[in-house]
Structure 1
Amino acid sequence: MTNFILFFIYFLNLFLQIFGQLTTQTLLEPAVRIIRLQVLYPDADIETVNKLPNWNSIMRKSVLASLRFVNKHWLICGESSNEQINLDKKQTIIEKTSSDCGHLQVTGEQLNKQKLYRLNATFIANMDPIQNSKSDSNSTVHSVLLIGIKGGIFQYTNAMKILGKPNTELGFEEAFFCYPEQELIEGSNYCNKKQIKTNTKN
């Protein structure tokens, strides 16, 4: 029995010397911040809205134009990854872009039989504090959009004029998510990811 244990220890040491030692390392990465906005329009032209077959597409393009305008001054839009496959070089290229303002999704709904209409927008946003694109100033996504709604940012395009003037109150919710094989650290905005690393010896 003693000889077997000694042989096992010898074999294990030899294996580690040849193949290296496996260690588990925990990496911290920022979570993905998802923001949901709600904008109320008390005087919307519901009749006209209901007659537009492509209204959802019109809304999304309009809100995207609004958020892009804001993003030129305050960096609110989070990056989204687009995978592209290069067949010639057999490579998968991952490009990060904020052109779609974090996979923006927009829906709308009539809340009653009168003229109250609610716009819902969901997108990936940068973490607070967000940076000003032209100076060292910083702010929060909520503060910037609250100023924007008072300044008419959600009437930025002519298509949105049929909804009328929105309320100056802004519905704002946020949540944090992690990618697969990651876990959200409770009470924080970070994810941990366990990585198995091989430390080889030269």
Structure 2
Amino acid sequence: MLSKSTSQPTIGVLALQGDVREHHRMLGHCGAVPVTVRRPEELLAVDGLVIPGGESTTMVKLATAFDLLEPLRKRVADGMPTFGTCAGMIMLADRIRDGIEGQETIGGIDMTVRRNAFGRQVDSFEADVSLEGFHPGESSHPFHAVFIRAPWVEEVGPSCRVIARVASGEAAGRIVAVRQDHLLATAFHPELAGDVRVHDYFVELVKEA
């Protein structure tokens, strides 16, 4: 049940690393009430959660230090709508390639993600991605995406739906956004794009949960 109303869900942004302020701004534009999440009690108070970019191994260590890793796993498993961007995508993956030995995730999405697939920080770039399966009319033009040390998705299971691929260039066709039930993940940073479509899609997902 939404904590305020069906038109204004409360959505947390995991504030361990990454573009927390930018996600707050985008969620606010889409009609949600954004709040910061650093503690288990704050996690329990939200209708949905955004896991921003950062460094996935560091993020796991910080989540463990803040006693958040197991509560995150439980809320995701219990059906809390969750949106992971870049490192957040890695955190929601059931399987990782090129991770460090013993690297943990929250899990929940039946996919294999390759860490740093597009290269290191110096290889960051921008590219158009083609949106698939969005609401009618929302996929009619490409989404200009920002990739920073980004992963990509190499394999998806039968319950995981592809919603965006790189439109052109050397990486054309690579899967960079997926949805599985209440979980959404992008390899890129939609909070930096000035385009609210992906955040709006997630806010609608939270309302429908």
Normalised to the residue count of structure 1, the TM-score between the two structures is: 0.22
Structure whose CA Rg is larger: 1
| TM-score using structure 2 length | 0.21
